[in-house]
Chains A and B, each alone.
Chain A
Amino acid sequence: MSEEVLAILIMWSFIFVYSIFGSIDFGAGFWAMVYNNHKTMAGKIANRFLSPTWEITNTFLVLLVVAFVGFFPKGAYTLGTVMLVPVSLILFFLAIRSAFMVFSYSVQGYRKTMFFISGISGLLIPSLLIAVLPISQGGFISVDGEIQSLLLGKLFSSPTLYLYVLFGLTSELYLSSLFLADYSRVSNREDAYRLYRGNAILLGPLTLLSALFTLLFMAPEAGWLVDNLMDQKIWFILSLIAFCIAYASLWWPKQNRPGIGRPRFTLLATVLQYGLASVGYGMAHLPYIVYPDLTIYEAFTATETFYSLMIMYIVGLAILTPGFYVFWRLFLKDKRYLQQD
């Protein structure tokens, strides 16, 4: 494996991990708004998960940017130039959301505003984030001599963008429903569990449909990507199988107890489903970061930098793992936290 491929593999893994955690994070914000004051406490459970974790998820987003600059500086140049407006908007919403998350913890009066802001930005931010996919597949960047710029008008009038956004949003809500179903069950809240399970049953097929439509109505400039995706069929078939198993497991009987569904299994199988599809999509996208002007080979960093970054990732991960473990024990496992009131 060449260094460039190794770097994009790591980068793509980060993006995958963030897309899962980000979906759960923003989705939880959305559900906390929808089920604010709901009799099942579904909103409260979503918020209980969100309070200690959003900061970590946010850090992961910064990690994505930093890793990208470190591994593919030329890519940072291109995307930094063309993504000025959409990314600035993301930053704007993110800042307001983060601030209110913290403020509402300190002063109760801001609770309602926080639920509203976190819920709305839970849809807006992911929509803007996923816009990078249609942009990177070509056709939306004009090159005038040295100067690259984003064709905002063309982008916003393109069905591809909206289908990607639809796919992104349905996936976000599906994943977060599954996660919160599992979280509700661990918290011993069967009524909230049933609510989130119901959402997942509804959303699952929608994610599949929107994925299909996104593929069918790809912009004409993305012909190269469609061809490549066809070559990676096998990954998508495997992904579809994983989906079917995951979806079916929503009806499996509970171990040793009455009740229905195995949310932990469903969640993990769904993450596998998205993982398989990501491998297929990622391989089809290679070697381009932004089609047709920027490949991973042109964008790659200095070799020495690459190796020192790799070493530091290993060291950093080794240092942080115990911290993450303590964190997981305290907020995702500890019954005293999960089952308060």
Chain B
Amino acid sequence: MDTVVLARAFFGTSLGFHIIFATLGVGLPLMIVIAEIIHQVKGDNDYAIMAKRWTKAFAVLLGVAIPSGTIVGVQLSLLWPGFMEIVGKVISLPFQIEIFAFFLEALFMSIYVYAADRLPKYFRLISVFFVAFGAVASAILITAVNTWMNTPDGFKIKSDGTIYDVHPWDAFFNPSFVSSAFHVAITAYMTGAFAVASVAAFKLMKKRSDRERAYHLKGLFMSLAVAFTMSFISTLSGHHSAQILHQHSPEKLAAAEGLFETQRYAPLAIGGFTDPKTEEVKYGIEIPWALSWLAAGKFDTEVKGLYEFPRETWPPFYVHTLFNLMVGIGTLLLGLAGIALLYWWFFIKKRGKPFPKWLLWSLVLSGPLSMLCIEFGWVFSCSGRQPWTIYRVQTTAEAATRNENLGMLFLLFLLLYALLSVLTILILTAYFKRNPVSKDMDKLYG
């Protein structure tokens, strides 16, 4: 493998690993805040137990999110020194503000975890609120840099590479920032909620005492309500992001849809794969006119095809599949959450029936599926920008390190990620096995 491919594989792996923990690190605190609020408003102690147990899980996940985030942050300079040179001049602002958000989260996380017993109730809520706020702010700020790579703004560049006329805030609020950052935050909330739903559904599959069943049902209902809301919003915001693609990164949209000829009344291709030989989508379902309508709300919108652009700047064809997977899973999850909530209303709340096995099993899968959806989305966003690291400014090859020592280091970090994954699972299962819900309940209710 040449150095550029190796650098991409290395960094992609680091990011892919970090994304799991970062996403849950944004999603779970929201669930904790909601549980704390319900507990303090309704006085139902079950929600206090939920908040406590989720905090425990969150603290363990943070143990990987922090170092993996540190790794990704520093590896940017190690693997993409050429890129970071431009970043430093133009878009270092969000990175720097992100540090403050990170500080906020770290400070109040320590306070919430190590000083909870010494704090008044309201201050516990304030602490966990700041943790949640710091987490989502970090995500939004980092996304600012990523969106700037997709739709760079706020500077000019001479042919020799000199950067001039820099406007840091314009770079920050680049054309795709608001839409993508919103999408990232909402989908993280959606994933956190589905992750909780997964666990609650799993717990409901076995026979339990009535109070435990009631506890898990509360957790499941709460997470499904959040998951459904967030999935619905994320569908809308995803649609908006696609319209931004149409305006600002037409070749990415064309590759996502496997569209080669520029046309009005463009069809939407669902499924299948882009055949590089015949240059068309094979085995997909075409919905006439739909792409034009999605791109700008009118059937006669002209959507640019790949032939419009030089061949060497085409994104890889597999992004069509990634795009389909992201949208497909997202839609599926929205439907699943909707069905589960309807079922709840008609069979459980009104007639006191239990959830059927098939529905519980599907819900168990929802958390992992939602996480996959996030991963596909990020891989789509970044490989759909290829061959550019900064769209039409810097290619990935120009950005990459020239260092030849990547192979061994990549291997070392693969081992590290495997080790941390195994340890996380071991620690979480060990802790929750030793401290089952019944134990927390006995402590509270006697």
Contact = CB atoms under 8 A, between A and B. Distances in A.
Contacts of A320: 100, 103-104, 107
A327 B130 CA distance: 13
Chain A interface mostly helix, strand, loop or mixed? helix
Most B C-beta atoms less than 10 A away, residue of A61, A76, A316: A76
A312 B104 contact: no
Given A84-B409, A92-B416, A308-B168, A301 B92 contact: yes
Nearest to B408: A85
Contact of B431 (A95, A107, A327): A107
Contacts of B114: 51-52, 330-331, 337
B87 interface: yes
Contacts of B70: 58, 61-62, 91, 94-95, 98
A129 to B, nearest CB: 12
B403 interface: yes
Most buried by B among A58, A70, A316: A70
A323 interface: yes
A312 B103 contact: no
A317 B267 CA distance: 52
Residue from B103, B118, B413, B420 having most chain A Cβ neighbours under 10 A: B103
Nearest to B71: A91
A56 B113 CA distance: 14
Nearest to A323: B107
B95 interface: yes
Given A107-B430, A305-B166, A316 B100 contact: yes
Interface string A72-86: 111011111101110
B103 A73 contact: no
Given A107-B431, A330-B118, A80 B81 contact: yes
Contacts of A39: none
Given A77-B82, A98-B63, A323-B108, A70 B92 contact: yes
A81 B78 CA distance: 6
Contacts of B84: 69, 73, 76-77, 80
Contact of A334 (B102, B118, B164, B168): B118
Contacts of B86: 73
A77 B85 contact: yes
Contact of A63 (B89, B99, B167): B99
Given A84-B403, A85-B405, A62 B102 contact: yes
Contacts of A91: 67, 70-71, 74-75
B87 A59 contact: no
Contacts of A336: 118
B56 A56 contact: no
A70 B60 contact: no
B392 to A, nearest CB: 20
A70 B85 CA distance: 9
B409 A74 contact: no
B119 to A, nearest CB: 8
B63 A101 contact: yes
Nearest to B84: A76
Interface in B390-446: 401-403, 405-406, 409, 412-413, 416, 419-420, 423, 427, 430-431, 434
A327 B78 CA distance: 33
Q: Which of B85, B90, B164 has the most CB of A within 10 A?
A: B85
A305 B103 contact: no
A302 B64 contact: no
Nearest to A300: B89
* Interface range, A side: 35 or more
B96 A313 contact: yes
Interface residues of B, number: 73
B95 A70 contact: yes
Interface string A220-258: 000000000000000000000000000000000000000
Given A66-B92, A70-B96, A305-B89, A84 B78 contact: yes
A12 B209 CA distance: 61
A83 B111 contact: no
Interface in A300-316: 301-305, 308-309, 312-313, 316
B77 A76 contact: yes
Contact of A59 (B97, B99, B412, B430): B99
A339 to B, nearest CB: 13
Contacts of A107: 427, 430-431, 434
A76 B88 CA distance: 8
Contacts of A106: 56, 59-60, 427, 431
Given A66-B99, A77-B84, A55 B66 contact: yes
A102 interface: yes
A110 interface: yes
Nearest to B66: A98
B99 A62 contact: yes
Interface in A269-318: 301-305, 308-309, 312-313, 316
Nearest to A102: B63
Most chain A beta carbons < 10 A, residue from B62, B87, B96? B96
Interface of A: 51-53, 55-56, 58-59, 61-63, 65-67, 69-74, 76-81, 83-85, 87-88, 91-92, 94-99, 101-103, 105-107, 109-110, 146-147, 149, 301-305, 308-309, 312-313, 316, 319-320, 323-324, 326-327, 330-331, 334, 336-337
Those 3 A-B pairs whose CB atoms lie nearest each other, nearest first:
A73-B88, A102-B63, A70-B92
28 contacts: A53-B110, A55-B110, A59-B103, A62-B74, A62-B102, A66-B92, A69-B92, A70-B88, A73-B88, A73-B92, A74-B88, A77-B85, A80-B80, A88-B413, A94-B70, A95-B416, A102-B66, A105-B59, A106-B56, A106-B59, A301-B92, A304-B168, A305-B88, A305-B90, A309-B93, A320-B104, A327-B107, A337-B118
Given A66-B99, A102-B64, A330-B114, 16 more contacts: A58-B106, A59-B102, A69-B77, A70-B93, A84-B403, A87-B78, A91-B67, A95-B71, A102-B63, A103-B423, A146-B402, A301-B92, A302-B90, A302-B166, A316-B96, A327-B107
